[in-house]
Amino acid sequence: MPSLFRFLFLVALAAGVVFVGMAALVAFVEPAPREISQPVAPATLNK
């Protein structure tokens, strides 16, 4: 049984590390805005 608890603890620890990493990305990384344009086929507009 202790090996099950150790495994669950390691899984929870890994999930916590991933969560903290994602939170750090949200807090510290700012995406650069840029213009996006995409051509649209005329057949799509005439429906």
What type of residue is 30? E
Q: What is the 3-state secondary structure (H, E, C) of 2-24?
A: HHHHHHHHHHHHHHHHHHHHHHH
**Which residues, other chains included, contact 39 with Cβ-Cβ below 8 Å and sequence gap of 6+?**
none
> pLDDT tens digit string along 1-47?
789 999 999 999 999 999 999 999 999 999 899 999 988 888 777 76
Integer CA distances (angstroms), 28 to 24, 32, 46, in order: 6, 13, 44
What's residue 47's pLDDT?
62
Place of tokens 């669950």: 8
